[in-house]
Structure 1
């Protein structure tokens, strides 16, 4: 069996850069490609992040199935997906249905996790040489995903973060050269990730999808 592809920050940069069209639509193909790269990043950090990476991988697989499925033309962009699923009654706004998860609900879970990664990577970029990654990660988690996790998971996550490696070790996992090179590429990548997050947040808020059960 071939070894899994290594994480490449430049690939994630390219994917999220390709996400947004001139009409400010978010293309799902590049979005999911960018997420595949972020999942490789999480895998490279070990079991500490498995509670997030496993869930993200399942959500990406579900979305890839929709993008290649019977109604694939409806899943070209985030905007076309939202229009189709709302018009077709595929989204349960107030309760979970017995049907497979909708694309809107699935993307919402990825969207929340993307906010955590955005904050965490920004903290790594702007932190000093001796910044504690455990503190950066915990602060990012508490400002994003923690609100959607039960107490047991929050407690386990914050304990696991205490074992994180140094900031330089994290930057080396970016596979773009020195720590300074990684900081520079993060500076290029994060505005694109932030742009995708902001467009998604606005779209979901407009259609009252941010609190899907």
Structure 2
């Protein structure tokens, strides 16, 4: 049985005017002191994650869901504390943007500065953990997000399928770019959880496309449409 929601969720449900609204935690991947990947243009992954997470949260709220935005201040360095904050919600979604391993990187010059890039990889991917107590539900929602992203015109990232990538991910559905991993925030969540790599920011074209407001809204629309995976 899923843990009872804290009293704060009951209060938020009343404020939302609907007892049928789902409670969804949207986690901003990484933090200011360790901002994750760097884009082909020298921008931090945390900045990308924060901007997209805000759009996703806004879109979910527009559909009547109750949303907890985690890590938006940029100072949350305890990764295990993130899923702990979401205990009792219906779904935990961690928002990230992808890169590649060091051996695939090349250099180029942007605005007079040397930056690193790789165009070998592009597209979205979705991760779940077999150690999550709601693995079946997590996988169902990950597949729903993968399908929605593909319907919205985004390409599944098949770079992780390549054995020599050496990343240790288990491919669950190559057509939808759904993978199994031991990423902390999905592994230690006590609710259904998934991690969305929305795109590859080390890719020169995708780094530009994915930061456009229209693209972020398309991703948010895809995520929102996938929330049918949640049971009433």
Question: Does TM-score exceed 0.5, indicating one fold?
Answer: no
Higher strand residue share: 2
TM (norm. structure 2) is: 0.27
Q: TM-score normalised to the size of structure 1? A: 0.29
